Amino acid sequence: MSYKRVAALYDVHGNLPALEAVLAEVEREDPDLVVFGGDLAAGWYPVEVLERARALPKARLVSGNCEREMILFFDGQSEGRFELTTAAARKLSQADRDFLAAFEPTVEVEIEGLGPVLFCHATPTSDEEVLTPLTPDADVEEALEGAPAVVVYGHVHVQGDRRLPAHRLVNAGAVGLAYGTSAACWALLGPDVELRQTPYDLDRAVPLLAAAPGWEGARKWAESRRHPPSAEEALQEFESQRKQRA
């Protein structure tokens, strides 16, 4: 089956107002499929965001590192590595946990004009390996070895569309926690790639996010939506992390 247009929504991080703004635009575009690319619920309003995702009739969901961490914490197999994942996991029901556990490691579909497209959270084989525009071509190609020519990812929260010798690497950006912009970022694929940025009402959203219960850092992270880190700062930090892990 080949799709004409596919919407890619990544890194929502429980930001309900941002997701609602994007979904309103997605509804107007009426794509054949919506792919959530991971780190959907870990943040301010996990349960409400999961409800929105469940309600979509044409959606597939990729698991990110935050889904994995939330499940481990919920199951009592981890003390929690990140404040936002543990706070979100505490709000889940068993049904919510099981919904997260059913997310797919990757999604591959055929899109008209692009051919086979792989959607992953970080890389095709890892939910937390880091790739940035600063990563050398050879290292990126090694991480994408065996993948289709077009790969869509997220994880670093900065939009981009990079042409490599053997691949096209598209970062859809982050719906709920974008760097370099206060808008909600996503991508529309088919017949080419459109990187979208959807503004939403921060005067309404920030107080709502700041008031999210059960997360000590809710207010600090909510206020960061007004003045997010620059794309350059974020990418330098992620690339530094990548080099340390390497």
What pLDDT band is residue 244 in, cutting at 50, 70 and 90?
very high
Architecture of domain 2-245: 4-Layer Sandwich (3.60)
pLDDT at position 80 is 80
- Asked if residues 34 and 56 have their Cβ atoms less than 8 Å apart, the reply is yes
Sheet with 193-198: strands ordered across: 59-61, 33-36, 6-9, 184-189, 193-198
* Model confidence pLDDT, tens digit, residues 68-103: 999 999 999 988 888 999 999 999 999 999 999 999
Name the one residue in this structure whose structure tokens are 């050398």.
Answer: 136
Domain boundaries, the chain: 2-245
Rounded percentage of the chain residues whose pLDDT exceeds 90: 96
What pLDDT band is residue 109 in, cutting at 50, 70 and 90?
very high
- What is the token pair recorded at 193? 């790639």
User: DSSP label at 175?
Assistant: S
Look at strands 168-171 and 160-163 and give their pairing: antiparallel
Distance in angstroms (rounded) separating the CA atoms of residues 43 and 23: 18
Of the candidates 159, 176, 156, 174, the one whose C-alpha atom is nearest the C-alpha of residue 49 is 176
